[in-house]
A and B are shown apart, each in its own frame.
Chain A
Amino acid sequence: MTVTIDAATPAGPRRNPDLGAANGLSCRECGATSPLGPFYACTECFGPLEVAYGYGRVTRERIEAGPKSIWRYRDLLPVPAGVAEIPNTDPGFTRLVRADNLARELGVKTLWIKDDSGNPTHSFKDRVVAVALAAARELGFTVLACPSTGNLANAVAAAAARAGIRSYVFVPSNLELPKIVTSAVYGPTLVAVDGHYDDVNRLASELAGEHEDWAFVNVNVRPYYAEGSKTLGFEVAEQLGWRLPSQVVIPVASGAQLVKVDKAFRELISLGLVEGDPPRIFGAQAVGCNPVAAAFKAGHDVVRPVRPDTIAKSLAIGNPADGPYVLDVARRTGGAVEDVTDDEIVAGIRLLARTEGIFAETAGGVTVAVLAKLLREGLLDPEAETVVFNTGQGLKTLDAITSAVGPTATIPPTTEAFDALAVAPR
C-alpha cells in the first residue's frame, strides 16, 4: 500500500489531539455535534460550539496536590495531562480577599474580592490564553493571534513569547496607551486598527478564514479558550474551603467569563466536589456599553448591538457573542444584569482602593459600582455571602482616574509648610 502525502495541504487539524477529558464539540443552539478540531461555529446554524467532556473521577485531593496555578484543574479543561510542563505563563490561583472594610461601607455581611489582577499580565485573560495555547498546539496551529481591547493582547503576546512562537495582536487604535505598551513590549506584531473593538473583531474573523495555521484565541479556538474562565469559579469554591458563595458579581464584555463561571459551579456540583445550589449570578456593564443589561431590563432574549462609548474600554464590546447566554444564566440563577455610569465607575475604583487597598482597572470599577447599585436596589441580599470579581489592574487604565485623584498638596520641603497644611492629627 502506498501512502501519499500532499505537500500542498495546509497545516490542518491533527487527527487525534490530546485534549484530556474533552471528547467533542457541541452546538449551544441546535445541539449538533462535531469532533474536536479547529472549529468554533456550528455548520448547521452558526451557533457557538462548546467543548464536551467525558470526565473520570476527579477528587479534591488530586486537585489540591496540583500546581498553584490553573493547571491544578487540568482534568476539567481541554488540555493534555502534561500541560504544566510545557512553557506557559502559569496563570491563576490568584488571591481571594476578604473585603470587610468594603462590606462595612456597603452594608454587606460577608464580601470577598477575587483579585485576578495578580495574574502574570495582570488580568484574567492569562487564564483563557493559557488554555487556548495548550489546545491550539494540540490542534496543529503554529501562530497565536487575537483581536483585543488590551488585556487579551497583553496575555497573548506574553504567552507567545514564553512559548517561543509568533503572535499577531489587533487592537482599536484609540486604546489606552498603557495597554498598547504592555502588549508591544513582548514583541508581537501589534496592529492598531481604526475603529471600535467590534470593527477589530470583524477584521480578525475575516483574517481567521485566510490564515489556517493562526489560532485567533477568541475566534477560531474560542470554544477551548473560553473554558479557561471556568478556573475562576473553581478557585473561588476551593479557596472558600470547597464551598459555593450565594451570590457573585462578574463584569460582562463578551459575556463568556460569566457564562463559564456558572458552568464551573455546576460542574463542581455534578462532580460531587461541592454541595449546595449554584450561586445567583449578576452581570456588570457600563451604561456606555450596556447591550446585555438593556436586554435584561427590557425582558428581551435578543441582545441588540450598541456602539460603545465608555471609559471601561475592556468591557466595550457592543455586539457581545455570549450576550444571550448571560441573559439565560442571570434569569436561571435569580441574578440580574445592571449598568453604571462612567462617574460611578471612577467612584467604584476609588472605593475599592480606599477600602481594601486593591487598585482595579475600569472593569473592576464597573463591578464594584454595580455591586453597590444592586445593594441599593435590593437586588442583592446583604445577608448572603457575596464574591465580586476584579479582573484587571488599575495601572493599565490610569487615564480614567488621573483627574480624580492626585497630591493632597504640593509644598516646599519644610516642616512649617507641612504643619500649615493641618493634615496630620495633633
Chain B
Amino acid sequence: MSSTVTVRVPTILRTYTTGESDVSVAVGDGATLSDVVGALDTAYPGIAGRVLDEAGQIRRFVNVYVNDDDVRFAAGLETPTPDGTKVSIIPAVAGG
C-alpha cells in the first residue's frame, strides 16, 4: 500500500520541479515528513539539500507545514503524513 502526499513548492525551489508549484509523491503507509522529503529528493534530486541542513534538520529559515500545522509545533520531521496530506514548504523570512 502507498499513500499520496502533495507538496507545495516555493518559488525558489521550482527550478528543481520544472516550474511546478504543486507536486505529488508516493510514500508508504505510516510515513512521516522525513519520508516525504526523501521521496521528493528521489523525484527531484538535490531538493532535500535545500530544505534540510547538513545535520539533516529543517533549515533555520524554512517553515514546513503539514496540512495547517507548522511542524515545529508538531513532531518536526517525524510528523505523520497519512494519505492525502498536504505539505507546504515556505521561506521563513517574511513578515513584520
Contact = CB atoms under 8 A, between A and B. Distances in A.
A393 interface: no
Given A29-B60, A41-B61, A202-B65, A46 B92 contact: yes
Nearest to A226: B96
Contacts of A39: 12
Nearest to B72: A305
Nearest to A195: B68
Nearest to A253: B96
A294 interface: no
Q: Indicate the size class of the contact surface on chain B.
A: 20 to 34
B62 interface: yes
A205 interface: yes
A46 B72 contact: no
Given A202-B65, A209-B10, A219 B95 contact: yes
B65 to A, nearest CB: 7
A204 B93 contact: no
Interface string A206-243: 10111000001011001000000000000000000000
Interface SS majority for chain A: loop
B60 A302 contact: yes
A305 B88 CA distance: 17
Contacts of A321: 61, 92-96
Contacts of B84: none
A141 interface: no
Contacts of A382: none
A268 B58 CA distance: 37
Interface string A323-338: 0100000000000000
Contacts of B59: 45-46
B96 A317 contact: yes
Contact of A46 (B65, B88, B91, B95): B91
B75 to A, nearest CB: 14
Interface string A187-213: 000000000011101101110111000
Interface string A32-46: 000000011111111
B73 A322 contact: no
Given A206-B90, A305-B72, A147 B95 contact: yes
Nearest to A125: B96
Interface string B72-96: 1100000000000000101111111
Contacts of B90: 202, 205-206
Most buried by A among B50, B72, B73, B92: B92
Contact of A254 (B8, B62, B68, B96): B96
Given A29-B61, A46-B61, A302-B60, A317 B92 contact: no
Most buried by A among B21, B93, B95: B95
Nearest to A306: B73
Contacts of A204: 94-95
A148 to B, nearest CB: 9
Given A317-B95, A321-B93, A209 B63 contact: no
B11 interface: yes
Contacts of A47: 60-61, 93
A305 B73 contact: yes
Contacts of B41: none
Nearest to A128: B96
A412 B65 CA distance: 60
A256 B94 CA distance: 10
Nearest to A324: B60
Nearest to A47: B61
B54 to A, nearest CB: 10
The 8 A-B residue pairs with the shortest CB-CB distance in the complex, in nearest-first order: A254-B96, A41-B91, A48-B93, A201-B95, A46-B61, A219-B94, A209-B11, A205-B90
Given A46-B50, A198-B70, A320-B96, 7 more contacts: A45-B61, A46-B92, A204-B94, A206-B90, A209-B10, A302-B60, A305-B73
24 contacts: A39-B12, A41-B12, A41-B91, A45-B50, A45-B59, A46-B50, A46-B91, A46-B93, A47-B93, A198-B95, A202-B90, A205-B10, A218-B95, A219-B95, A254-B96, A302-B60, A305-B72, A305-B73, A307-B73, A319-B70, A319-B72, A319-B92, A321-B61, A322-B96
Interface of A: 29, 39-49, 147, 197-199, 201-202, 204-206, 208-210, 216, 218-219, 222, 253-257, 302, 304-305, 307, 317, 319-322, 324
